[in-house]
Chains A and B, each alone.
Chain A
Amino acid sequence: MRNLDLVLLALLVAGAASAGQREVQLALPLRPKLALSGHERLYVGPFLRENPEDKASADVRFDVANEFERYLRRLLRKETKFVLVATLDAVRLPTTDPLQLGNEADFWRGLGQKTGADIIVAGSIDFQIQDTNQPKIEAYESPTDGRTYYRQVMVEQTGFTYDILLNVYDARSGALVLQEPLKDTQQRDERSFDEFTGMFANLYALENQLVGIFVPRTIKTKRILFTR
């Protein structure tokens, strides 16, 4: 009788297995946000640094806008086939209001004429650093009775927030073609963590989104097939 039970169970398992599923991976394309041919002449910059009077911003030892501009040029050179036009020295923005920049069509058209670019990639950046003390619950084993207790400890952290408003202009008309906000926050379990490393952690996290504005990407995703 026991053997019969085992045989029946084996049959059930075999039946269940025959009505199976299989996970497969697909590579699907993602369109870029801009419908460009990929061979346009691109001018990168200028970028406006937001909140220069802010204390957290003033502590930074490097020029955030320049570093971002340099990083973006390197990224576009690596990932796209655009012709990157040489940067002009001392380009002065007509306003310090990041939202107003998009309306300054005359300025962008003029910059387009000077550089001979088809597209201008500019915008504004806000980079914030916050040193914080956060309470955290931690387990510890008591040396007296060997039991596990929980205690609250203060953990020192550094938070980096990188907020970009990327504007893409048609260099011939000066019109704003695309406005893309990009934001990333990173936490490091250390007080006064190096801000340069923190900023690049933000930028690497945003890299995929930045590239996705200009060129098509592929994403990997999973689906289930029925196998019977």
Chain B
Amino acid sequence: MQPAQVAGKMSPSYKMVRKYFIASIFEFVLLTFMMFINADSIKGFHFQSKLLGLTHIATLGWITMIIFGAMFQLVPVVLQVKLFSEKLAEAQFWIFLFGLTGMVLFFFKFDTFFLAIFASLVSLAMLIFIFNITMSIIKVKEWNITGTYIAAALVYLFFTVVAGIMMAINLYHPYFKTNHLEYLKLHAHLAFIGWVSMVIMGVSYKLIPMFSLSHGFSLKPAKWTFGFINAGLILMTVEYHLPERTIMLPIATLLIAVGNIIFLYQVYLIMKSRVRKILDVGLTYTMVSFGMMFIATALGVFLVFENFLKPEYLSKLVLVYGYLILFGYFSLIIVGQMYKIVPFLVWFHKFSAKVGLEPVPMLKDMFNENYAKVEFVVMNLALTGTVAAIAFENRVAMYISTGLMFLSSLIFMKNMFSIFLTKGIKNAD
């Protein structure tokens, strides 16, 4: 059996994956624009309609949408199975996009009836995704660590959806015996750590060595990370179903923090054994993203002791914590990995049949690397500025920083479209 042929045959349709990526890129631009025009709302207590709306554009429109597309592309290639149904992936896209649009709109209006209706559509799309990927991966013959992380991420996505829809109903018709805001913490952490971070980690074990040409490293730490983070998440899930906070919460938080640190050690081992010593733009984003993950993890541990903090400090720290996870950790790595994955995807679709017959571009020639470097600087300035603006409640700094993030998203969109629209190169002769 030639793996080459398998990889080719297993790949899903280019147009389907592209649709998810393009929608997600637009959502990122929409998100940063909405943050800019609502910069005055990025302060105070996190449970407010505009912040909830913005958070869901980020988590669903930008982050989850791009993960869906990436999973449809990577699961068949990494695990060597065919996607169970492309038709379901197609249907899921439209249900998700429609549901998400309504959900964000009614978060902003805070109409809890329609919010619950549209949240149900989003949940339906998520369930279709979970079903489709589960049906695909049950046929995997050679299991690997990436597959294990993806399988766990699917389970957490399911529980994120369950918690989310329960909260949407509870907002319209209160029935919770526990505190809604406490349950929100569980929903957010299942989404961030169980779903998004679990996917990022699992995929990193495959993609980072591939892009950095790393060889001969041990993957043992990845197994420890899996154990620690899952133990922490299970404990956290039990804890948030109890009427009051117990010692279980700091233990769960610590377990997850240790899991994250071991993950960073795993990345260090991979990078130490890399052949490509010079980091390209995609890997530079990725490494800074992991630095942000470290800071967010430290902050997460600190926030366990919320009872010792003054309420005004606590609300600022919670905003910084959420912002660092969504923009520092998740967005930086997504942007970085898109600079690696999208050129490959487009190149494979447009040029793989032409190799050896006519000149074809190199992947790095499909976008302007200098723009990507400028975007990197602008994005990091925006990140630092927004954190400072939250901390010091500075309105001008908030407008400048969110404006810079909007600018970075435009540069990203420009570069992504350059890649999607790449044409063949003319013969130099």
Q: Do A and B bind each other?
A: no
